[in-house]
Amino acid sequence: MGQAGCKGLYQSLFDYKTEKYVIAKNKKVGLLYRLLQVSILTYLVVWVFLLKKGYQDTDTSLQSSIITKVKGVTFTNTSELGERLWDVADYVIPPQGENVFFIITNLIVTPNQRQETCAESDSIPDALCYEDSDCPPGKPVMTGNGVRTGRCLRAENLTRGTCEIFAWCPVETRSRPEKPLLGKAEDFTIYIKNFIRFPKFNFFKTNVLDTKDRAYLKSCYFGPKNPYCPIFRLGSVVKWTGSDFQEIALQGGVIGIQIEWDCDLDRAPSECNPRYYFNRLDSTFPGSSVSSGYNFRFAKYYRDGAGVEFRTLMKAYGIRFDVMGSFLCDLVLIYFIKKSHFYRNKKFEEVRSGHQANGKANVEQLQNLQTVEA
């Protein structure tokens, strides 16, 4: 690099550069410029702020808890169970008050079962036999109740019978009752308490009315006039899904209860209210389809005076409830970058010594140019 080049580089270290603004006195260009500004401003105000609420923040890391409790009693009198009073400890599974619970509405009861040998049910195809060789010992009966012993049990004058099995005998043979055992359960009540907290905004809410009246929850029912009463009548919940209570109580079903909290904290906390949605979740088919309903089996065990173990097998039909939460919370951003003031300065083109004429002309042209910096 030559001496002239080094000298120019050295002098450039002390140069100051600034922008040069030119004002075009043209109405068409000015109109186009203003229309562009208005279009951008309209997009920001209408689309970003009003419609999409781009100024808001969203909290999805919420904390939520759902507590359930069922109440109600009913009385039955059957040949298997005799006279019996049913309370919540008898018909709610599990009893802990979780967000998924089951209410028994119908039963098939097989009492006094014990482990011994007996004939398998003739309603099970894999248990049918014609001779002992059709019942290999030790082989379980597919979809049956026990394991084969090697004998084919046939009634007199019949060529076909069923395999003898080792199982809990006698096996379940009764079909589903034509009427639900707990048909009056539609007057039972379900208490659903939902807590939500948005930790990002330190916002807390519950679906229970904030009152000191202890009698409130003992007398209210959820409805349009009582949106903060978390007591739901069982028959009403089934009705809101579009189902018939006696039908679902007979063969069972699954109902989803969704609690939606969509809270906009630009508004008052009193406007952050829960919305409830009730839906039938299991597949329903016209007629008596084998795919309809919901049921499972459980047993209660005991021993007699001789120490022999017995059990009472129960096939329970009923309504399974899945209580779910759907949550979204928006909060306006209250922290913005604050600007203390705006200022205006005039910028001029640099005038070198020895070029006064040109410099004077440029200064006169630029004296009317102004810029605003934020």
Q: Where is average pLDDT lowest: 37-51, 74-88, 110-124, 129-143?
A: 37-51
Task: Indicate whether 128 pLDDT > 50.
Answer: yes
More confident residue, 329 or 368: 329
The sign of the CA dihedral 199, 204, 207, 213 is: positive
Write the DSSP string, 88-109. HHHHEESTT--SEEEEEEEEEE
How far, in Å, are 221, 222, 229, 257 from residue 225 at the CA level?
9, 8, 9, 19
- pLDDT recorded at residue 156: 82
Which H helix or E strand runs over 143? none
The angle subtended at Cα 196 by Cα 193 and Cα 200, nearest 5°, is: 170
Mean pLDDT calculated for residue range 213-224: 89
pLDDT tens string 267-310:
777 888 899 999 999 876 555 556 678 999 999 999 999 999 99
DSSP assignment, residue 184? G
How many of the other CB atoms lie within 10 Å of CB of 57?
14
Task: Indicate whether 334 pLDDT > 50.
Answer: no
Instruction: List, in sequence order, the alpha helices (H) in the chain.
Output: 3-12, 27-42, 88-91, 216-219, 234-240, 245-251, 356-366
- pLDDT recorded at residue 120: 95
Which structure tokens are listed for 184? Answer: 């009056």
Q: Of 26, 30, 29, 22, whose CA–CA distance to 365 is shortest? A: 22
* pTM, full prediction: 0.70
pLDDT tens string 84-126:
999 999 999 988 888 999 999 999 999 999 999 999 999 999 9
- pLDDT recorded at residue 184: 93
Three-state SS across 28-88?
HHHHHHHHHHHHHHHHHHHHHHHHCCCCEEEECCCEEEEEEEEECCEEEEECCCEEEEECH
Q: State how far the Cα of 243 lies from the Cα of 234, in Å rounded to an integer.
A: 12
Q: What pairing do the DSSP bridges indicate for beta strands 309-332 and 253-264?
A: parallel
Four-CA torsion 360, 365, 367, 370, nearest 10 degrees: -140
Task: Indicate whether 136 pLDDT > 90.
Answer: yes
Task: Indicate whether 82 pLDDT > 90.
Answer: no
Radius of gyration of the chain (CA): 40
- pLDDT recorded at residue 346: 39
How many of the other CB atoms lie within 10 Å of CB of 110?
20
- pLDDT recorded at residue 323: 94
